[in-house]
Amino acid sequence: MALHDIAPALLEDWLRHRYFSAQYDISSSGLAPGTLGDLRAELGIGTAELDEIAFRDSPSVGSDRLRAAVAARYAPGLADQVVCTHGASESLFLVLAALLRPGDEVVTLRPVYQSLSSIAEALGARLRTWELRAEDGFRPDLDLLRAVLTPRTRAIVVNFPHNPTGTTLTREQYEELLALVDRHGCHLLWDGSFAELAYEGEALPEPSGRLERALSFSTLSKAYGLPGLRVGWCVAPPALIPEMVRLRDYVTISTSPLSEHLGSAVLEQADKVLAPRRQLATANRRLLLDWAAEHPGLVELPAPLGGVTGFPGLAGIPDTTAFCHELEAQDGVLVVPGGAFGHPDRIRIGFGGPSAELTQGLDRLGARVERWGR
C-alpha cells in the first residue's frame, strides 16, 4: 500500500458536515470549546500582549516557551525532546513516517481511533491487533497483547484513556506494559490525549522519561477544550527528531506563533484551565451513566474510566448507521455510528459539552431507541 491509498477517515467523513449543523451535538471526544475572549479573561491575556506577536515562522520543533511549558507539565527535564505540532495528529503522522519501514509489524488496539492504525498501514506496516473485547467491558487484557507480539514487532500504539470506550489501564497494568515493551525491545507510542480526564484513580504518567523507546503524544484539543488552537506535541527520542523535522519541512514547516503563545499560557496555568472542565466532565459522566441505567435492556454501556466518550451498544440494532442517520435527521441529535471504530452495533457518545445539551440529546436518543424497530 502507498500513502495515497490510505483508507478514508470514517469518523471525519461522518462528522465533516454534520458537526456544524447538529442541534444537539453529543458526538465529540473533547470538552466544549470556548471563545478567544473567554480564554483571554480566564488567563489574564490583554490585547496589547497579542498585538506584539510577529507573524513569522516559528522554530521547526516549536517555540522554546511552549516546549518548556509542555515539559514542565508532562515530561520534566525533557524539553529538548518535545516537538510542537498541529494537534497530536501531526505528531503521530511524523513519528510513524520517521519510524516505520515497509514490512514492520505494528500492534494497534481495536476498537481504535483510525489514525492510530491506518497511517501505519498506509506506510507499509503489517498490523496486528490487540483486541479490547466487548465481553470484557473493553478492559485491556495484557495476555492478548503478548499473544500478538512477534520478533518483527516494531511498535505498539496505544491510547489510554481510550477513544471511543473510555477504558484505561490500571497502574499495575501500566507498569507491566512498560516492562513488556522494555523486554521486547520495540517502541511504545503512547497517545495520552485524554490523560487529564481520569475518573477512578490517578492519571497514568507520561512514559517517555521511563523508557528509551517510548514516544508520547498529546494535545490541547481534548481535556483543555481548545481544538481550534491546533496545539499538540510529542515527546520523542532525540535521534528521531531530525527525521521528523525533515518530513515536516514538506508538510507544515512549523506551527503558528499566535497558537504557540496562547498554548504556552494555557499550559503555564494548566490547573486553572482544567479545573472547571474536569468538573463539567465528571458531572456529565454521571448524567450519562444515569441515563444508561434508566434504559435497562436497551442500552449496554461500559462505564468510561477516562476521557469524555462512551461506547454503548443498542439492543436490537446490529448496525447503527441508519439509526444514527435518522436520529440526526429527525431529532437533531449527532452521535457517531460504531462502524467508524469497527463495531457497527455500537455508537460513540461524547459527554464533554454543555450539560443541558447532553441531557436533551440523551432524552431524544433514548426515545428513538425505544421506538426503533416497532
Torsion angles phi and psi, residue 8, rounded to 5: -55, 140
If pLDDT is split at 50, 70 and 90, which confidence band does 201 have?
Answer: confident
Pairing of strands 153-159, 82-86: unpaired
pLDDT at 4 over 90: no
Domains and CATH numbers, the chain: 3-36+272-369 (3.90.1150.10), 54-270 (3.40.640.10)
Average pLDDT estimate for 145-153: 96
Sign of CA dihedral 79, 83, 88, 92: negative
* C-alpha–C-alpha distance, residues 320 and 339, integer Å: 8
Concatenated DSSP letters of 342-365: T-TTBEEEE--S-HHHHHHHHHHH
Question: Per residue in 16-41, pLDDT tens?
Answer: 989 888 999 999 999 999 999 999 99
Residues 6+ apart with CB under 8 A from 280: 31, 32, 352, 355
pLDDT digits (tens, 9 = 90+) for 151-188: 999 999 999 999 999 999 999 999 999 999 999 999 99
Rounded Cα distance between 244 and 250, Å, is: 10
H helix runs in the chain, sequence order: 10-18, 36-43, 47-51, 64-74, 87-99, 115-122, 142-148, 171-184, 241-248, 257-268, 270-293, 321-331, 355-371
The predicted structure's pLDDT at residue 209? 87
How far is 1 from 121, CA to CA, in rounded Å? Answer: 7
| Residue 71 amino acid letter | A
The pLDDT > 90 percentage for the chain reads: 94
Average pLDDT of the chain? 96
Q: How far apart are CA 39 and CA 367, in angstroms?
A: 37
The mean per-residue pLDDT over the stretch 83-95 comes to 97
The mean pLDDT value for 87-116 works out to: 96
